[in-house]
């Protein structure tokens, strides 16, 4: 079997990882992808560490049955909770995680004021603490957990009054002009980027880790000789743990149109 022709496995707690899949498919359109959203168990970010580790290992084991050549953990929460466990278990396969895009946000100006928006678990875990320590002398880093936002995206609330009301309340302590950047540290959040921008004002720069993760995936595939030699557009298979087809339909809408 030519391993290069196997698909890339991409997963998340739900539909959020589609924001990463879009970046992957834009950068490497000839690759085949299998996406798995664990919407039946979303959100992960408010669960215990042990639960998220168990669910993350189950997601990867499910994708393994599709003979994937690499795993992209398109979930900041699962990455912070379990990327080490995955790398141990799948030592012969590239395992690429995602982390909040703090680096580009910290370089927009001298001593920026940056707000990192993520799930409670991502902000609590050591992986993010380490990342924060690396940049803390370069500016002011504020963190804001957003419990409930993943649920809104999973429900397809990507614009409108309910979402805007939630975000206005969430950002109430940060009036316009007080922030330079916002880092979307959860892969669900890029789908509400426009409303975040409207609530915080045009001046605030917004970053997410999707494109960086796609570039890192390409680099790892090249390094391991696993880039697909096939020409043309690859196949994208969308799957969900949620039964009934509605979540796969939302994944497709987010992948194709959003
Ligand atoms: N998309 C996941 C992330 O990037 C959301 C986690 C959750 O389900 O709470 O963190």
Close Cβ partners of 14 (under 8 Å, ≥ 6 residues apart): 37, 38, 39, 42, 43, 150, 153, 154, 188, 240, 247
The C-alpha angle with vertex 6 and arms to 98 and 223, in degrees rounded to 5, equals 55
Pocket flag, ligand 1, residue 41 (CB < 6 Å): no
The reply to whether ligand 1 has any atom less than 6 angstroms from the CB of 76 is yes
Nearest CA to ligand 1 atom 2: 75
pTM of the model: 0.97
Q: How far is the CA of 77 from the centre of ligand 1 (A)?
A: 5
Q: Which residues pair with 85 in a beta bridge?
A: none
Contact 123 CB / ligand 1 (< 6 Å): no
Cα separation, 85 vs 205, in Å, equals 34
56 lines ligand 1 (CB under 6 A): no
Given 186, 192, 199, 254, the catalytic residue:
186
Q: How far is CA 241 from CA 37, 207, 213, in A?
A: 6, 29, 24
Q: Which residue has the CA at smallest separation from atom 9 of ligand 1? A: 45
CB of 228 sitting under 6 A from ligand 1: no
Minimal-distance CA residue to ligand 1 atom 8: 43
**Which 3 state secondary structure label does DSSP give 141?**
strand
Atom of ligand 1 nearest to the CA of 122: 10
Spatial CA neighbour of 185 closest among 110, 245, 99: 99
Determine the pLDDT at residue 74.
98
pLDDT at residue 120, as a whole number:
93
Exactly one of 42, 75, 152, 179 is catalytic; name it. 75
Is 186 designated active site? yes
Q: H helices of the chain, where? A: 18-27, 49-64, 76-89, 102-106, 120-124, 126-135, 149-154, 161-170, 193-200, 210-223, 246-256
The answer, yes or no, to whether any atom of ligand 1 lies below 6 A from the CB of 143, is no
Structure confidence at residue 258 (pLDDT): 67
| Per-residue pLDDT tens digits of the chain, which is 258 residues long | 899 999 999 999 999 999 999 999 999 999 999 999 999 999 999 999 999 999 999 999 999 999 999 999 999 999 999 999 999 999 999 999 999 999 999 999 999 999 999 999 999 999 999 999 999 999 999 999 999 999 999 999 999 999 999 999 999 998 778 899 999 999 999 999 999 999 999 999 999 999 999 999 999 999 999 999 999 999 999 999 999 999 999 999 999 986
Judge whether 6 counts as a catalytic residue.
Answer: no
Whole-number Å distance, alpha carbon 104 to ligand 1 midpoint, is: 21
Give the domains, in start order, of the chain with CATH numbers: 3-98+210-256 (3.40.50.1860), 102-208 (3.40.50.1860)
Burial class (CB in 10 A: 0-12, 13-18, 19+), 1: exposed
pLDDT digits (tens, 9 = 90+) for 57-78: 999 999 999 999 999 999 999 9
Helices (H) and strands (E) in the chain, counts: 11, 9
What does the alpha-carbon distance between residue 79 and residue 187 come to, in Å, rounded to a whole number? 11
Rg of the chain in Å (alpha carbons): 18
Q: How far, in Å, from the CA of 13 to the mean position of ligand 1?
A: 6
The residues facing 237 across adjacent strands are 34
Does the Cβ of 186 fall within 6 Å of ligand 1? Answer: yes
Return d(Cα 97, Cα 255) in angstroms, integer.
20
Peptide bond into 43 cis (omega under 30): yes
């Amino acid at each position: 079997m030519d391993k290069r022709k196997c698909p890339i496995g991409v997963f998340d707690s739900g539909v959020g990882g589609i924001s990463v899949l879009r970046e992957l498919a834009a950068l490497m359109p000839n690759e085949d992808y299998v996406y798995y959203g664990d919407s039946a168990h979303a959100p992960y970010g408010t669960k215990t560490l042990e639960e998220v580790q168990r669910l993350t290992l189950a997601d990867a084991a499910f994708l393994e049955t599709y003979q994937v050549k690499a795993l992209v953990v398109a979930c900041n929460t699962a990455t912070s909770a379990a990327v080490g466990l995955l790398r141990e278990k799948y030592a012969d396969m590239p395992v690429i995680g995602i982390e909040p895009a703090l680096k580009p946000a910290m370089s927009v100006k001298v001593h920026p004021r940056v707000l990192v928006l993520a799930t409670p678990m991502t902000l609590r875990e050591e992986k993010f603490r380490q990342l924060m320590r690396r940049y803390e002398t370069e500016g002011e880093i504020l963190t804001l957990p957003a419990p409930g936002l993943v649920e809104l995206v999973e429900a397809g609330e990507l614009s409108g009054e309910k979402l805007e009301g939630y975000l206005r309340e969430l950002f109430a302590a940060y009036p316009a002009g007080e922030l330079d950047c916002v880092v979307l540290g959860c892969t669900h959040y890029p789908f509400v980027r426009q409303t975040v921008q409207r609530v915080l004002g045009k001046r605030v720069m917004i970053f997410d880790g999707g494109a960086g993760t796609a570039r890192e995936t390409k680099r790892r595939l090249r390094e391991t000789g696993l880039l697909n030699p096939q020409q043309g557009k690859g196949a994208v298979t969308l799957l969900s743990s949620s039964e009934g087809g509605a979540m796969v339909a939302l994944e497709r809408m987010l992948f194709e149109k959003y």
